[in-house]
Structure 1
Amino acid sequence: MSSTAEQAVPQQEQTQTPAPRTIRERFESKFPRGLIIRLIAYLFVGHLFAFFVYLLFVLGGQNQ
């Protein structure tokens, strides 16, 4: 046997998926894209509705 023979070291197989590299990839891995779009739409529409109701109360209060 040769003393300079290299021995192959078996590499461990990765059982876990590699961690996402960017913040966006980490965020999207937790929440689906459709959920994020619906959340933004609901928040926008909800705030518009709240502003409309507030405006009704303000304008209604000025008439008295």
Structure 2
Amino acid sequence: MKDMEEKIPRGLWVRLIIYVAVGHVFAAFIYLLFTLGAKGQ
């Protein structure tokens, strides 16, 4: 596992974590919109 961490640059890890976090927030927002929209009908 140590070799794997040394191969991937630190900046890439940070970017990957940010993209995953933003993606989850975006997905949760869309899910919330659909849920509220379904309740409104």
TM-score range, shorter chain: 0.7 to 0.9
Q: TM-score, normalised by structure 1?
A: 0.59
Q: Which has the larger radius of gyration?
A: 1
CA RMSD of aligned residues (A): 1.0
Please, which runs of 5 or more residues in structure 2 have no aligned partner?
none
State the partner residue of 1:40: 17
Task: Quote the sequence identity (%).
Answer: 56
Q: How many residues align?
A: 41
The one of the two structures with greater contact order (alpha-carbon pairs below 8 A, sep at least 6) is 1
Task: Name the one with the larger helix percent.
Answer: 2
Partner amino acid for 2:38?
G
Please, which runs of 5 or more residues in structure 1 have no aligned partner?
1-22
Q: TM-score, normalised by structure 2?
A: 0.88
Partners of 1:47 and 1:31 lie apart in 2 by 23
